[in-house]
Amino acid sequence: MNTPRFFLFAFLTSALAMSAFISTAAEPTDRCCALTPLDAIAPADAAVTTLPDKSLYLLDSSWKNQHDQTVKLADYSGRPVIILMGYLGCQTACPLLLNKAETLLAELPEKDRSQVKPIFVSFDPAHDTPTSATAYIAERGLECSGWDILMGTPDSVRELAAILGIRYQAQADGNIFHSNIISVLDDSGVIRAQLLNLSDEPRPVVEALKGLTR
């Protein structure tokens, strides 16, 4: 058994792997754009024929995304999703909520991260528009993780919030008080984990996401 030669081989391979890692890590912008664009990933089982009884995708509501396209929630089936609700004019909790969601994504290995679709649903369809949503995504550098911002009707927003266990109330000054909940959906739209509070331990949510990626 040629032990020294084996060690040399192992050393060289791991060095090679590490240098590959270092070179990608050194160029954060490249790393971001090197991710497969989410929409290019063909979900293997996108056509989920019968949705589970607790699937969010049973909701028939229509939404506008930041590209001014009409989408149904079921359009997101076939991949894990993290979904939260906020509004673009929010100066306090929503940026923290988004940061928290970004942190959760950052905890995932890169191959897993690129499979997760993050969705921000607006509480404020009267003020938030596809144009302001596009600007928001650019300002906050949310393109990399592939955020979609959805705008619905007051009714569909109320309904989705009820399903996600989110409470909100518009104030006279235009602010909206709301709960800060981040939900993880599996590829058929069933809630698998929730971060119920910004200060909650993120590990269960991260683990749930890892379990849902391929």
Name which of 38 and 48 has its Cβ closer to other proteins: 48
* Separation between Cα atoms, residue 18 and residue 20, nearest integer Å: 5
Q: Which of 165, 174, 203, 211 binds other proteins (CB under 8 A)?
A: 165
Name which of 51 and 71 has its Cβ closer to other proteins: 51
168 binding other proteins? (CB under 8 A): yes
Full 3-state SS string of 150-192:
EECCHHHHHHHHHHHCCCEEECCCCCEEECCCEEEECCCCCEE
122 binding other proteins? (CB under 8 A): no
- At residue 85, the 3 state secondary structure works out as strand
- For the chain, what's the residue count? 214
Q: Which of 35, 46, 144, 170 binds other proteins (CB under 8 A)?
A: 170
181 binding other proteins? (CB under 8 A): yes
Kindly state the tokens that stand for 158.
Answer: 């109320």
The least distance separating other proteins from the CB of residue 179, rounded to whole angstroms, comes to 4
205 binding other proteins? (CB under 8 A): no
75 binding other proteins? (CB under 8 A): no
- CB of 208 closer than 8 Å to CB of 194: no
88 binding other proteins? (CB under 8 A): no
Kindly state the tokens that stand for 42.
Answer: 């063909």
* Separation between Cα atoms, residue 201 and residue 184, nearest integer Å: 15
Closest of 3, 126, 150 to residue 65, by C-alpha? 150
Name which of 111 and 158 has its Cβ closer to other proteins: 158
Encoded one letter per residue, x for contact with other proteins by CB under 8 A and - for no contact, window 24-53 reads -----------------------------x
- Unique residue bearing structure tokens 């909100």: 168
> Site residues (CB under 8 A) for other proteins?
53-56, 58-59, 92-93, 158-159, 161-163, 165-172, 177-181, 196-199
